Chain A
Amino acid sequence: MATLLSFLFTIAYVPGWAGAALTPRWAMLAVAVPLIILRRKVLPHVQSTLRTHDARPTRGVFWLSVAFLAWATLSMLWTPSPWDGLFSLEQWALWFGVGYIGYKLDDARPVYTGCALGMGVVSILIILEINGHDLIRQSEFQHRAGLFFNPNIVTETGVLVLVACLAYGMWTLGLVTALPAIVLTHSRGGLVALASGGLYCAFKRSLWWGTAAAGLIFLLALGLWWFNHTETVDNFRGGMLINPASWQDRLNIWRHTLHLLTWTGNGVGSFRVMFPSEMAGYSDYAHSDYLQLAQDFGFPGVALIGTLLFLAMNRPYRPETLVVIAFLIEAVFQFPTWMPVSGMLGALAIGRLFR
């Protein structure tokens, strides 16, 4: 059941819709997360994958989570767009709910298996697109996006799925389903996250392995740079490895976002409203989750989430540690927290670290 749910969640898409890749997934989460937590009465068959004993989060983590949600709710008082705020508040509640499910879940492998199978569908669609059969044509500007709205999102989600599969020893499943999508979309943030996870793993094993992995990654990076350097930009329509315009866009967005920061934040879900009106630019996301978090929730929000993440990363190693590392690195350049599939994987993994 968990495999089926996560598979359907990963491929949820309504062709022809403007929000084809986002709306169905948020809708699924909004209904599924409370239902799963209410599982005893409503979804007894899901319960079989959940812990049967009464597992409660550690008190500190519980109160930190409550404090963050309370601060987010309080910030509705000064958010410039209450409607945006309400949506964002629901999204944060869902992440804490998913984290709780992750905490209670005995075995997360069915979830990762479902997501991997979903990524397999995405990989097939991208391969078909490259071969001239573009079944999911989204717009003039997005290529190789599969069932996501942007190739970068494909890579960042694919990397999280791949890392989760590798961490649990499901090598074949991860490599066959997620790797093609990652390689074919050329997103830099996702590749950096993958490389960092690999490095962490290698150094954890031994210094020799770490050094060898660093050397290999350096050679691969050099090869990719050379490959990209010698190809025309047109061959990289889906997601360019080296694209100065894309870097410049990010730097502009970050610079403008820095001007928006205040001690108490501008309120939950305020980024979309604050960014264009203040800085005359246009972006729905800060392209760095840390900056967007600071913009929305200010110092208290950053401190609360930062403490939660610090506590999570200080827990004993488990396979999800690698997923969280990849997620946190992606969050530097991208917005995985605000994307349904990657956000779900990140929240689930963080929740599982507290077990």
Chain B
Amino acid sequence: MIRLLLILWLLIGVAFAGTSFYAEILVSHAMRIMRETQIEAKGKPTEVVTPAMKAAFAEAMIASEEARTLAPELRYLRTWPAQLAMVDPTMPDEQAIDALQKELDKDPYNYHILLLLCLRMVHAQDVAGAQAIYARIVKQWGTENYPASTIRKLTTGIAE
């Protein structure tokens, strides 16, 4: 009886391992697209974000959604709708800022949303707003991260 239970447990373990690996394959595909797109878009104003990038993000979204249903630990991918709002070149700044602000209200410590909101405010020439968000990033996350320094340069640049 105990042996049967152990064998059942082993089978569950194999299923657990297999599911996790499959989900990782999906999410790695999504993350690769995301990373490549981010590298291309990093530090640039939103008009350089092309429809091709938007399509790449959409593809990544589909893969990540599928992965999330398989592996709950991949919940961090849930911020992607907000990131899509950021990179959507057709969305006006005001609308994107409003969408991101709503996401931020739900998730006030989310680093990615803070970053995206700040960048979008920079793009909208809202210096005070961008600097306020930047201050939150510094307060909550420190100043050592590369994107935070990028934002500092951008916000300082606009202020000057």
Q: Which residues of A contact B (CB under 8 A)?
A: 14, 16-19, 22-23, 26-31, 33-35, 37-38, 81, 83-84, 87, 90, 93-94, 97, 140-141, 233-234, 236-237, 240, 243, 245-246, 248-249, 252, 269, 272, 276, 280-284
Contacts and interface: CB of A to CB of B under 8 A. Distances in A.
Contact of A245 (B16, B72, B76, B142): B142
Contacts, number: 116
A14 B147 CA distance: 26
21 contacts: A16-B32, A17-B28, A18-B28, A23-B23, A23-B24, A26-B20, A27-B20, A31-B14, A34-B7, A34-B9, A38-B10, A87-B72, A140-B147, A236-B144, A245-B140, A272-B73, A272-B75, A281-B109, A282-B107, A282-B109, A282-B110
Nearest to A276: B107
Contact of B24 (A19, A234, A282): A19
A81 B108 contact: no
B17 A31 contact: yes
B16 A26 contact: yes
Contact of B76 (A83, A246, A284): A284
Given A18-B24, A34-B9, A272-B75, A280 B16 contact: no
B141 to A, nearest CB: 6
A34 B6 contact: yes
A34 B13 contact: yes
- Which of B17, B21, B76 has the most CB atoms of chain A within a 10 A radius of its CB? B17
A34 B20 contact: no
Interface residues of B, number: 43
Contacts of A87: 16, 71-73
A35 B146 CA distance: 45
A210 B31 CA distance: 50
Interface string B59-94: 000000000010111111000000000000000000
B147 to A, nearest CB: 6
Contacts of A30: 12-14, 16-17
Contacts of B28: 16-18
Interface of B: 3, 6-7, 9-10, 12-14, 16-17, 20-21, 23-24, 27-28, 30-32, 69, 71-76, 105-111, 138-147
Contact of B107 (A233, A272, A280): A280
Contact of A240 (B107, B138, B142): B142
B69 to A, nearest CB: 8
A237 B140 contact: no
Contact of B108 (A34, A90, A280): A280
Nearest to B108: A280
Contacts of B14: 30-31
Contacts of A28: 17
Contact of A81 (B27, B72, B76, B109): B72
Nearest to A248: B140
